[in-house]
Amino acid sequence: MSDLDLHELEQVDTRVVAWVDDFPRERVAAAIARVENRLAKWRQALAIYDAMHSENGSEPTRWSAAAAAPDPTNSLIPLPERTPTKAQAVTTVMRTSPHTTWKLDDLRRALVAHGWIEDTKRASHGLQVVTSTMVQRGQLERPEKGFYRLPSEGTTDAGRSE
């Protein structure tokens, strides 16, 4: 090797060391985490879609409300810019599995997970009032006490948990 080649290698080495020293590792790691979180949400959306549709795409399959219950750290339900009313929140959650009969407690847990209601007895009572009002208005059906579903044909009771 000539002296010139050795000098060039030292300059390259210096530039590499400077690049590594200035590398924004935390920003890059945070960006990767955001992308991975988004990918996980899309994978979950595909899994929900696949779980709800048969292989030929005709009839939705039976699906559990527990599987539909949102994970507060990895939610598929888009958060609105403003907090929805309780009725809007109930409808939003129930639309994640529109053919399911939901136990009131499953709805309550999903709403709490999204921060749409508090985890208190008072908020639970308020949710009971809202769902009863929605039944009276025809926005929900109540096949039996404590169970609700969106008004449509072909609903199932897969979401019941006793």
Cα 118 from chain centroid (whole Å): 18
Structure tokens at 112: 């709490």
pLDDT at position 62 is: 42
Q: What is the mean pLDDT of each run of 10 residues along the chain (162 residues)?
A: 73 85 85 82 71 52 45 47 81 86 91 87 94 94 92 52 36
Domain boundaries, the chain: 1-52, 63-149
pLDDT at position 35 is: 84
| Strand bridging mode 102-103 / 141-144 | unpaired
Give the number of other CB atoms < 10 A from CB of residue 60. 19
User: Coil, strand or helix: which one is 117?
Assistant: coil
pLDDT at position 18 is: 86
Strands of 141-144's sheet, edge to edge?
102-103, 147-149, 141-144
pLDDT at position 2 is: 58
